[in-house]
Amino acid sequence: MSNDRVYFFDTTLRDGEQSPGCSMTQHEKLQMAQSLADLGVDVIEAGFAISSDGDFASIETIAQEVRGPVIASLARAKTEDIERAGQAVKKAKRSRIHIFLASSDIHLEYKLKISREQAIENTAKAVALGKTLADEVEFSPEDATRTSHDFLCQIVGVAIEAGANVINLPDTVGYATPSDYAGMFRVIRERVPGADKVTLSAHTHDDLGLAVANALAAIDAGVRQVECTINGIGERAGNAALEEIAAALRVRADRYPVEHGLNLEKLYPISQQLAGTISFGPSPNKAIVGSNAFAHEAGIHQHGVLSNPLTYEIMTPASVGVPTNRMVLGKHSGRHALRSRLIALGYNLAPADLDIAYRAFTELADKKKAIYDLDLINLVAHHQRHEDLIGEAATETIARSN
């Protein structure tokens, strides 16, 4: 992998689908996988093959039909898991088995009930087996951010020696801060033999609202694969949002001088596709793809955006596939936004008439939360002295409304 290229590993169909309300049918997963390939992701984690016959069938179908990305299946460090994963991805043009084993003391003691020595032994065996069944093996020491650095270096070293191509250090419970997370990768690079020969990967969760910040900190520390999901869906508070990482890399290319293969103009369409597939969409204030991401209601902001969008927008809506920015008329809006919307409706009012209309508008806006086009048409029609001043375009709008 190139040192100046970031590879996007999408786990919408695995980690994302595991979150409540996000399950998908086999056909829906295939459609999403095809869209992810069209978006330009480098790796699709298509599911967890051992978890169910349905998940196995989905992974197998995606491996057979989707071309472009590497197709991966998750597996525990168990023989039956790894063999099942290998069978699911064997028809992929490029296949990967993603093996994970807990490394933190709390997980080893209370979940797996094994010693560190057993974990080391299991890691070596699992990675070696995975190498015989897929083109690539990725190894993740689960709960890496709550693992002692000494033991983390030891288990990662064993995985590399056994043949792992990718080492992922997941912030499984969203515990890390950006400086912690970046520092952990620097420790691995400095202390583990062979770390410079594999791809280091970041997998972050949003329990503290730091998933994207942690992923970017990892990139800053030399990580060249980021694991993320569309709309940030995932366990608990979710995963790092693919669209946010991608947009940050574009807008702040001065800070992150790396390349990637995504077509950002497809971000909004795939976000909408996912929202239509699962039970919910992104919140209105969600960065990049939320309905308010390019919406403006405050008068000062509206005036600025109407004059030059760059005053209050750091990227164009079109650059991420959003059809247009949106001027929301409400009690915070100013004359410039009102005039712009009235012109679009067919009214080009003289300054004195605009003043009358604006006063009536603000009175109405104090009474109701949302102002619609028909409200404006009725408002102007009521305050105009002559009905023949209503423009042809406005008349057509009234007809459409009826």
Compute the radius of gyration of the chain from its Cα atoms. Answer: 26
The predicted structure's pLDDT at residue 383: 67
278 — pLDDT class (breaks 50, 70, 90): very high
Task: Give the position of tokens 């909408």.
Answer: 272
Question: How many Å apart are CA 163 and CA 177, to the nearest integer?
Answer: 30
402 — pLDDT class (breaks 50, 70, 90): very low
339 — pLDDT class (breaks 50, 70, 90): confident
Residue 7: strand pairing partners: 225
Residues of the chain with CATH 3.20.20.70: 7-277
Question: How many Å apart are CA 142 and CA 168, to the nearest integer?
Answer: 9
The predicted structure's pLDDT at residue 328: 60
* Residue 383, CA distances (Å) to 38, 333, 358 in order: 52, 20, 11
3-state secondary structure of 271: helix
Question: How many Å apart are CA 117 and CA 121, to the nearest integer?
Answer: 6
Higher pLDDT, 283 or 171: 171
Residues 6+ apart with CB under 8 A from 110: none
DSSP string, 371-400: --HHHHHHHHHHH-S-GGGS-HHHHHHHHH
**Mean of the per-residue pLDDT values for the chain?**
88
Residue 43: strand pairing partners: 9, 70
Task: Give the position of tokens 């897929």.
Answer: 134
3-state secondary structure of 243: helix
Question: How many Å apart are CA 46 and CA 49, to the nearest integer?
Answer: 9
What are the pLDDT digits (tens) for 149-198? 999 999 999 999 999 999 999 999 999 999 999 999 999 999 999 999 99
Q: Is the pLDDT of residue 393 over 50?
A: no
What are the pLDDT digits (tens) for 29-83? 999 999 999 999 999 999 999 999 999 999 999 999 999 999 999 999 999 999 9
The token duo for 219 is 């990139």
CATH code given to domain 7-277: 3.20.20.70
* Residue 350, CA distances (Å) to 12, 74, 104, 307, 341 in order: 53, 65, 70, 20, 14
Give the pTM.
0.82
Question: How many Å apart are CA 397 and CA 374, to the nearest integer?
Answer: 8
Higher pLDDT, 173 or 292: 173
* Residue 69, CA distances (Å) to 144, 201, 228, 360 in order: 26, 16, 15, 56
Question: How many Å apart are CA 223 and CA 240, to the nearest integer?
Answer: 15
Torsion of the alpha carbons at 125, 128, 133 and 137, rounded to the nearest 10:
110
3-state secondary structure of 176: coil
Q: Is the pLDDT of residue 384 over 70?
A: no
Mean pLDDT, residues 84-97:
98
The predicted structure's pLDDT at residue 297: 46
Mean pLDDT, residues 247-254:
95
348 — pLDDT class (breaks 50, 70, 90): confident
Q: Is the pLDDT of residue 385 over 60?
A: no
What are the pLDDT digits (tens) for 306-315? 456 555 456 7
